[in-house]
Chains A and B, each alone.
Chain A
């Protein structure tokens, strides 16, 4: 077995955190926003958004691990969460 370098390990650990924690935050923000904005009955919008959530989460996790540049992946991830949180806050007002 080839021994992974320290840099490699840190980078992989970082992606794991980005995928699990960042992915969940991004997914839940998107689900919350969809639940508020989908043009349906409130309860129907909540169910639709929540049923889609695991597909969204999976797509985010795959993208995090597929991204070639870890720095730009982090940038996109944090930016997306920030934008969604602001939009969520704005639409709850």
Chain B
């Protein structure tokens, strides 16, 4: 029975992997980029490069809101953080009599330098958020996209498990890596990328499913709460004491003691954001949300203070075990807690995941090279699969480079500028499929990776020609986000140049 069992698992591994491989590769690439979502969003708006962290940012924000929106029923403050050192302020205007009261329409926001309070006007862009959205829903309708990515993740989980069963001796084989040009080399590359980062692959696949599990698997909630899930939602997000009415005018209490109290309560963590209801009235409430640094869990933790007296009214209680586990699993996927080295480690593992999928796809088609006796249909089909491999694996990077280059080159006042950046991503990616079809897959591999190398190397250069936040300034002034992104582009250019060189050698 054993060999039959292994055979069926090997079959399952191959087909499961290849059916979702193209999508999974794009999900891995954009997911890896999403680890730097905040940094990329900041880099893509060089107008914000003057912003500097400042310990008094929140107090300054309150002062500005007092001047700009004294009668607003609600203020919002996003505190600056090292990965995004700007202060964001938002407020809702009072509904005007006789006009429809749409909350979103009444919302206004500004972005400022935390140190000076100067308003900064960043260019229109979707920044790093675009990659995160693509990662989780492939730019489709959210409902469809999330189900599709979830299904692919589930198939990936099956592919990983069946792959492990098929290659139980894989750890042994790992130490006999023989790089070369034949199918065996691809298999070993696939094994190295798959096994070295195996704990990461299992973790990221499972936690990705857990992140949207209430959508994918609602059976448990339905069984226990039926069609009245409100009680369950309260358990997931314990409510905080909301203001019932504004009451009489009363000045807002000093914020510094409350920030100190929050920091003590959260073992030194600071609030990431504040929302103030009915500022300037006796019924004012100050809600603070804990930042994600210093803890893995992605569960929200809040504290609510009376805005007039400064008294602590409510805080998120100690979470029960399952809820804490859920928060930690989601937190591991989002990696918002990760700083510096660990963020790079996650990104490296993400690239290993992309490499695992890419080598798996190539390996699958290597094993099916048509012989001269095969049908014409299969010979043509094989050619199509190879072109799709090139477009999916190499082409997406051309899209990414086009997105960054468009960010620097498109006119600042272009109508729907942010959408045009995204269009450049898709146009470049689509062209890579066409070009691979015209050129033939064999030669397209080296051509497209060479173009990717040149494009990524061009990004810091174009950046230097169009902005002040280029490497010449950013390194000297300690603008690490700008310098870091520019240097990473150069690193990627080196990586793609190496791949292009490998692919250009004869018998590739």
- B-contacting residues of A (Cβ < 8 Å)? 1, 27-29, 31-36, 40-51, 53-55, 57-58, 61-62, 65-66, 68, 88, 92
Contact = CB atoms under 8 A, between A and B. Distances in A.
Contacts of A1: 368, 370, 374, 378
B157 A46 contact: no
B322 A65 contact: no
B427 interface: no
A51 B329 contact: yes
A40 B235 CA distance: 14
Interface of B: 1, 4-5, 8-9, 11-12, 154, 157-158, 161-162, 165, 206, 209-210, 213-214, 216-217, 219-225, 231-232, 235-236, 320-323, 325-326, 329, 368, 370, 374, 378
Nearest to A56: B217
B217 A68 contact: no
Given A1-B378, A54-B154, A62-B9, A46 B220 contact: yes
**Interface SS of chain B: helix, strand, loop or mixed?**
helix
A27 B219 CA distance: 9
A35 B221 CA distance: 8
Nearest to B231: A43
Contact of A46 (B5, B216, B221): B221
B217 A53 contact: yes
B328 to A, nearest CB: 11
A43 B232 contact: yes
B154 A32 contact: no
13 contacts: A1-B370, A28-B219, A31-B223, A32-B222, A43-B231, A43-B235, A44-B323, A47-B220, A47-B325, A48-B322, A53-B213, A62-B12, A65-B162
Contacts of A48: 322, 325
Which of A28, A36, A46: most chain B CB closer than 10 A? Answer: A46
Contacts of A43: 224, 231-232, 235-236, 322-323
Given A50-B213, A58-B158, A68-B4, A44 B320 contact: yes
B168 to A, nearest CB: 14
Given A42-B224, A62-B158, A62-B161, A54 B206 contact: yes
A51 B213 contact: yes
A54 B321 contact: no
A55 B213 CA distance: 12
A18 to B, nearest CB: 13
B8 A54 contact: no
A21 B281 CA distance: 57
B322 A35 contact: no
A39 to B, nearest CB: 12
B13 to A, nearest CB: 10
Contacts of A35: 219-221, 223-224
B378 A33 contact: no
A47 B328 CA distance: 13
B220 to A, nearest CB: 4
B157 A47 contact: no
B447 to A, nearest CB: 29
A62 to B, nearest CB: 6
A55 B5 CA distance: 20
Which of A40, A42, A54: most chain B CB closer than 10 A? Answer: A54
A18 B9 CA distance: 16
Contacts of A88: 223
B5 A50 contact: no
A54 B209 contact: yes
A66 B8 contact: yes
Contacts of A92: 223
Contact of A32 (B209, B223, B325): B223
A22 to B, nearest CB: 14
Contacts of A44: 320-323
Contacts of B4: 68
A50 B157 contact: no
Contacts of B220: 31-32, 34-35, 45-47, 49-50, 53
B426 to A, nearest CB: 30
Which of B222, B322, B368: most chain A CB closer than 10 A? Answer: B322
Contacts of B158: 58, 61-62
B219 A29 contact: yes
A43 B161 CA distance: 30
Contacts of A55: 206
A17 to B, nearest CB: 15
B217 A27 contact: yes
A68 B213 CA distance: 32
Given A44-B321, A50-B221, A58 B213 contact: no
